[in-house]
């Protein structure tokens, strides 16, 4: 398929924050060939390529750099299923992969249910939910080394995974595919799973349908809520249904889908020992607004967009929180969201 370059594309429609100006150049990539095409095009045109997934952890600029081409991998949806191993392309919806584990009757793999990001971003950030890290399921990662444009592999144990960190944040590497461990219930033995031949197309279609909802959090939840999921997938055991239900209750109770946001703004300082959101609460900053950006009244580590917030509005609140925490607790919290200048 021929690569299509868009002009003046609104980045706000590609972020769960619903913030961002119009990109001078933007494109979607749907396969590995298109990724190399856009890299070649960028080099010839003198443009800086910026790749991202579903925009669930990114604060885009109000005036994007005119010499940057923004590239979304959300249409890069492929999976390859083998005995005791499965690979997902970097754009594959992370929440749907939790259902893959549910279909294998592995409750411990359900923890990324209702996370709106992509699998590539999950590896990049080493996504975390309570005591679980994405690194637990990574066997190895296939990537493009942007220094020489060669495809290479790295094992999960060599990815330098730590708390919300990985080697991919330190290298000029573009994640292509993630190979996940299947520790039990080999796929070939699952006669009634969604991964038998007659269900495979439904699985991919479900992933593709998610393209329409992954940047609007309320629509994302309507698409992925457990009631809707169980209508489509009837093969989860009770333990997995229970785990998914527990996660859904937790996320809904925390109002993760009530307003445009990018989840936790700051990492927790484990040396200090108190979650950043709790510190913000102690400082009585919850509910504080700057124009249409607001420190969520329901969670101190989330900033929400109540209308037409801009990047500068969010940055104002981020700087305010940093200053207040430093003045009162003696350290500057590290931002978790990716801020594009």
Asked if the model's pLDDT at residue 16 lies above 70, the reply is: yes
Q: What is the pLDDT of residues 149-186, one digit of tens each?
A: 999 999 999 999 999 999 999 999 999 999 988 765 54
pLDDT reported for residue 264: 95
- How does residue 206 score in pLDDT terms, banded at 50, 70 and 90? low
- How does residue 192 score in pLDDT terms, banded at 50, 70 and 90? very low
The candidate with the shortest Cα–Cα distance to 243, out of 45, 99, 43, is 99
Q: Global pTM? A: 0.91
Q: Find how far residue 287's CA is from the centre of its chain.
A: 25
Q: Find how far residue 170's CA is from the centre of its chain.
A: 18
Q: What distance in Å separates the CA atoms of residue 271 and residue 100, rounded to the nearest whole number?
A: 35
- Spatial strand order in the sheet of 68-72: 25-28, 68-72, 48-52
State the chain's mean pLDDT as an integer.
Answer: 90
CATH of domain 9-72: 3.30.43.10
Q: What is the pLDDT of residues 57-75, one digit of tens each?
A: 999 999 999 999 999 999 9
Asked if the model's pLDDT at residue 309 lies above 50, the reply is: yes
What does 24-57 look like in DSSP terms, one character per residue? SEEEE--SHHHHHHHHHHHHHHTPEEEEESS-SS
pLDDT reported for residue 191: 44
pLDDT reported for residue 188: 47
Domain boundaries, the chain: 9-72, 79-253, 261-339
Strand partners for 25? 69
pLDDT reported for residue 234: 67
The CATH number of 79-253, from 3.30.465.10, 3.30.1950.10, 3.30.1640.10, 3.40.50.300, is 3.30.465.10
- Under CATH, what is the fold of the domain 261-339? 3.90.78
Taking CA atoms, 119 is separated from 29, 104, 176, 292, in Å, by: 15, 18, 10, 30
Q: What distance in Å separates the CA atoms of residue 91 and residue 208, rounded to the nearest whole number?
A: 10
């Amino acid at each position: 398929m021929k690569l299509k370059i868009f002009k003046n594309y609104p980045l706000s429609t590609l972020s769960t924050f619903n913030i961002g100006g119009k990109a001078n150049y933007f494109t979607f990539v749907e396969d590995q060939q298109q990724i190399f095409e856009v890299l070649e095009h960028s080099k010839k045109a003198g443009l800086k390529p910026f790749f991202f997934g579903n925009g669930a952890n990114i604060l885009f600029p109000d005036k994007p750099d005119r010499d940057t081409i923004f590239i979304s991998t959300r249409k890069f949806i492929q999976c390859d299923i083998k005995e005791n191993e499965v690979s997902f392309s970097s754009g594959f919806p992370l929440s749907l992969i939790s259902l893959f584990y549910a279909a294998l009757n592995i409750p411990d793999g359900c923890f990324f249910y209702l996370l709106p990001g992509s699998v590539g971003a999950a590896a990049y950030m080493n996504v975390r939910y309570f005591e679980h890290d994405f690194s637990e399921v990574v066997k190895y990662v296939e990537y493009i080394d942007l220094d020489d444009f060669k495809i290479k592999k790295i094992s999960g144990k060599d990815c330098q995974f730590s708390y919300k960190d990985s080697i991919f944040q330190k290298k000029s590497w573009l994640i292509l595919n993630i190979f996940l461990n299947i520790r039990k219930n080999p796929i070939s033995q699952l006669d009634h799973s969604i991964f038998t031949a007659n269900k495979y197309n439904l699985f991919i279609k479900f992933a593709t349908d998610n393209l329409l909802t992954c940047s609007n959090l309320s629509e994302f939840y309507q698409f992925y809520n457990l009631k809707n999921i169980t209508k489509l997938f009837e093969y989860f055991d009770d333990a997995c249904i229970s785990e998914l239900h527990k996660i859904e209750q937790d996320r809904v109770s925390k109002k993760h889908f009530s307003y445009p946001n990018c989840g936790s703004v700051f990492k927790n300082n484990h040396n200090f020992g108190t979650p950043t959101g709790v510190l913000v609460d102690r400082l009585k900053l919850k509910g504080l607004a700057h124009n249409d950006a607001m420190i969520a009244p329901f969670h101190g580590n989330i900033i929400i967009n109540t209308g037409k917030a801009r990047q500068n509005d969010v940055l104002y609140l981020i700087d305010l929180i940093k200053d207040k925490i430093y003045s009162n607790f003696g350290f500057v919290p590290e931002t978790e969201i990716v801020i594009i200048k």
